[in-house]
Structure 1
Amino acid sequence: MTDVPRRRPAHGTRLRRVGDGEPGVHHRVVHGYRRAFRMAGDGPALVLIHGIGDSSATWADVLPGLARTHTVIAPDLLGHGASDKPRADYSVAAYANGLRDLLTTLGVDSATLVGHSLGGGVAMQFAYQFPERTERLVLVSAGGVGREVNPALRLVSLPGAPLALSALRLPGMRLPLGLAVRLLRLLDTGLGQDAPELLTLVDALPDGTSRDAFVRTLRAVVDWRGQVVTMLDRCYLTAGLPTLLLWGDRDSVVPVRHAHRAHEAMPGSRLEIFEGAGHFPFHTDPARFRSVVEEFTRTTAPADWSRDRWRALLRGGGFGADPSLAADGRRVREAGDRGAT
């Protein structure tokens, strides 16, 4: 079988600009559901995928700068932000499918994917399902590397979570929550680093529909024992795909050791640690974040995917050429961290 040529816009190609200045929210209806997104800039496509309970607004500090050199698309995942919140499939694979279809309606054949937290898992799943449409991969404090996750997220996966989230929005809860956050910050804890951003996620769940969508999404990837899916069993497929890992060394949601674990499992990947940053390094130091992403896209060529090479990687299972990877694979299975997506 011959190689399948990669179809992508040339680097000088201009995709359609949507709005000028600060990008507003636009909508497309896909499969009967309204999908919200922000889009700005010209040049190679760069897709920013937010984390659980968040929205495209999380990228406000970096999107305009990145749009100077890229066409930036930042969607609100289904069940999040200004997108519809139906009773639907909120698995990582379903999100990857929805992202593909939204990009297709926008005329984007391939792109560099930047995924934060849950969005990192979605980006990795997209690269697995649609390698011919993935130019580069940037994983930011990404989920799916190991079981460990903040205990609060494990608790929210339990029965009764929507009611508990509703209680957190009661007026009388703001003062004690605010005091707890200030105390955690005064104690200089990792959780104190992330607590303000995590509290904004509660504010982003104003009604029962939003809370139900949040809990459905969370339960697709987390249970009371921790994360239930992993990308480690397929990391070998990123060989030849330019991959950048960005992490805060004080991440209280997904520990920084997951970054090192993913880096070891992804052939040729690059790792950038943001000292003093928590789970949102692009909030802590947006200028450095923009600089690192721009340098990465400028100095790497888009992946050159072929069906023959993909087949060879799958047949090798990632273990044939490197015995140490086989040992790592066995450890993953023995530890019970392997999950299916």
Structure 2
Amino acid sequence: MTVHGHRRAYVRAGSGPVVLLLHGLGCDHTTWAAVIDSLARTHTVIAPDLLGHGASDKPRADYSVGGYANGMRDLLTVLGIDTATVVGHSFGGGVAMQFAYQYPERTERLVLVGSGGLGPEVNPAIRAITTPGFHQVMGLLAAPGLRHAATTTMRVLARSGISQLRDLGEVAAIYDSFKDPRARAAIRHVVRAVVDWKGQIVTMSDRAYLTEAMPMCVIWGADDHVIPVTHASNASALAPTARVEIIPNAGHFPHRDHPERFAKIVRDFIRATEPARYDRERWRELLDEGAPVRPAGARAGDAPVDPLDDVRHATPA
């Protein structure tokens, strides 16, 4: 459908309470392909291609997390959907957090999957996108012959069984999308809005206390080499009531590595929690009180435990 003059591609499946799936940088709705049918057995699933990605338009536009949150509000409004459980992966996790912050009255629950916004560390390959000349260099690397050879090699390596290489299949799909110069430009704008040479810029740490009345689940692959699993402990420190699930033998895309297990975690989380109810007066009180004062010597993102040692692991579906 067209919103604000730009085509927005999305998949809609199932019926029941709404689950909004937000993909990560350079991906599209197909990253959720392995879990859409499973979730759609009990829920209405909306899986859009974010602006600048997939089959959606790629205009010169606002590619900030706030801009994306606005776009998701407008898409849901046009679809006649008032509230949703918002699930965000990687960069989509940052969009999900921003959506929950901007539109708490429309957010029932928040599920963060290998999410950005929980610490500065990020894979150097993502930081490299912010460097001058990336657009031109990637244009050369996206030439048909080289691109085909590189993506084929990545997909073969992804099937090698080596855990450090399992995410290369998704990386190959992202690399292949760079053949479109509009996609390259959009992704460059996205990354520059959230990352600099030091790492991630955008953080939820200063506003995490606002999640007090909002059920939150954090899911991470134990072998994530894009955003470290230690960021799950940051989420525990920032939002102590959050449910944290570390999935063993999974990388940055746990929803693809173990789709049934992932879908079960999401379904169980939704079934076990009541949707958030926006209370304007309580929201005002929280803003007035501000974030809780940390103990002397504590730092933003300090965590009381290692998430690999003291979290509930998902049980196989």
Q: What is the TM-score when the length of structure 1 is the normalising length? A: 0.83
Find the counterpart in structure 2 of residue 196 from structure 1: 169
Greater mean deviation of Cα atoms: 175-184 or 126-135: 175-184
The percent of aligned pairs where both chains have the same amino acid is 52
CA–CA distance in 2 between the matches of 1:79 and 1:94?
12
**1:177: how far off?**
6.4
Find the counterpart in structure 2 of residue 129 from structure 1: 102
Find the counterpart in structure 1 of residue 37 from structure 2: 64
CA–CA distance in 2 between the matches of 1:325 and 1:308?
31
Find the counterpart in structure 2 of residue 328 from structure 1: 299
Root-mean-square deviation (CA, aligned residues, Å) is 2.2
**1:50: how far off?**
0.3
Cα distance change on mapping 1:216 and 1:301 into 2, 3 Å: same
CA–CA distance in 2 between the matches of 1:130 and 1:50?
19
Q: Does 2:84 match 1:107? A: no
Match runs of 1:155-304 below 5 Å: 155-170=128-143, 171-172=145-146, 174-175=148-149, 179=153, 188=162, 190=164, 192-304=165-277
CA–CA distance in 2 between the matches of 1:39 and 1:205?
26
Find the counterpart in structure 2 of residue 77 from structure 1: 50
Cα distance change on mapping 1:148 and 1:174 into 2, 3 Å: same
Cα distance change on mapping 1:218 and 1:38 into 2, 3 Å: same
Q: Where does the alignment leave 5 or more consecutive residues of structure 1 unmatched?
A: 1-27, 333-341
**1:204: how far off?**
1.9
CA–CA distance in 1 between the matches of 2:155 and 2:80?
44
CA–CA distance in 1 between the matches of 2:167 and 2:116?
16
Secondary structure of 1:60's partner? helix
**1:169: how far off?**
2.3
Secondary structure of 1:114's partner? strand
Find the counterpart in structure 2 of residue 336 from structure 1: none
Cα distance change on mapping 1:177 and 1:202 into 2, 3 Å: closer
CA–CA distance in 2 between the matches of 1:121 and 1:67?
24
Q: What is the TM-score when the length of structure 2 is the normalising length? A: 0.89
Match runs of 1:310-321 below 5 Å: 310-319=283-292
1:20-75, CA deviations, whole angstroms, 9 ceiling, x for partnerless residues? Answer: xxxxxxxx211111111100111001100000111011111100111110011011
1:210-260, CA deviations, whole angstroms, 9 ceiling, x for partnerless residues? Answer: 111111111111122211111111111111211000000111111000111
CA–CA distance in 2 between the matches of 1:205 and 1:234?
34
CA–CA distance in 2 between the matches of 1:155 and 1:252?
16
Cα distance change on mapping 1:179 and 1:31 into 2, 3 Å: closer
Greater mean deviation of Cα atoms: 86-95 or 160-169: 160-169
CA–CA distance in 1 between the matches of 2:41 and 2:159?
35
Cα distance change on mapping 1:106 and 1:181 into 2, 3 Å: closer
Aligned amino acid, residue 156 of structure 1:
I
CA contact (8 A) 2:117 2:204 kept: yes
**1:188: how far off?**
3.9
**1:111: how far off?**
0.5
1:279-316, CA deviations, whole angstroms, 9 ceiling, x for partnerless residues? Answer: 00000000001111011111110012201111111112
CA–CA distance in 2 between the matches of 1:184 and 1:326?
43
Find the counterpart in structure 2 of residue 93 from structure 1: 66
CA contact (8 A) 2:154 2:168 kept: no
Aligned amino acid, residue 43 of structure 2:
H
**1:330: how far off?**
9.7
Q: Where does the alignment leave 5 or more consecutive residues of structure 2 unmatched?
A: 304-317
Aligned amino acid, residue 172 of structure 1:
L
Aligned amino acid, residue 99 of structure 2:
F
Find the counterpart in structure 2 of residue 15 from structure 1: none
Find the counterpart in structure 1 of residue 310 from structure 2: none
CA contact (8 A) 1:277 1:284 kept: yes
Q: What number of residue pairs does the alignment pair up?
A: 302
Q: Does 2:17 match 1:44? A: yes
